[in-house]
Amino acid sequence: MITNLDPEKITRLLTLSTGQLDQSTLLALSSARQNALQRQPVRAPVFALSMAHGIHRLIPSPIRLWVVAGLLIATTVIGMGYWNHVQEQQIDETDLAILTDDMPIDVFVN
């Protein structure tokens, strides 16, 4: 009957054998490792909410991107609406002035 050997004795020798790899193999392994590390995805936050660090970490990056895009669009739309409203108000004031024949002098100067 063959007696079972101790696996640890074998693995110890196998570990020793890894120290006998030639230089070109070690360089190739190092290069492979560097290649792999360059492919590791970077999970940087898009923006940081100063009052809610816990929340912004819980929201995945794509959702944060949509939130940022939505905020930008909403700001733009509101800004354009306000600008239009101001313009209309100025035109209304001019029309009223024309109708009441109460135009300021600078209108005629320019």
Partner 1 sequence: MVKLSSSAELSQFLTSVERRAYKHAIYAVRDDHAALDIVQDAMIKLAEKYGDKPAEELPMLFQRILQNTIRDYYRRQKVRSAWVSLFSGLQSRHDDEEFDPLDVLEDSENQSTPAAPEASLQQRQIIALIEDALGNLPARQREAFLLRYWEGLDTNETAAAMGCTEGSVKTHCSRAVHALSVSLKAKGVELP
Residues binding partner 1 (CB under 8 A)? 2-11, 13-18, 20-22, 25-26, 28-30, 32-33, 35-37, 39-41, 43
* Helix, coil or strand: residue 44: coil
At its nearest, how many Å lie between partner 1 and the CB of residue 32? 4
The residue among 33 and 85 lying less far from partner 1, judged by its C-beta, is 33
The residue among 30 and 94 lying less far from partner 1, judged by its C-beta, is 30
At its nearest, how many Å lie between partner 1 and the CB of residue 51? 20
Name which of 67, 72, 69 is nearest 56 in CA terms. Answer: 67
Name which of 46, 53, 52 is nearest 72 in CA terms. Answer: 46
**DSSP element (H, E) containing 79:** helix 61-99
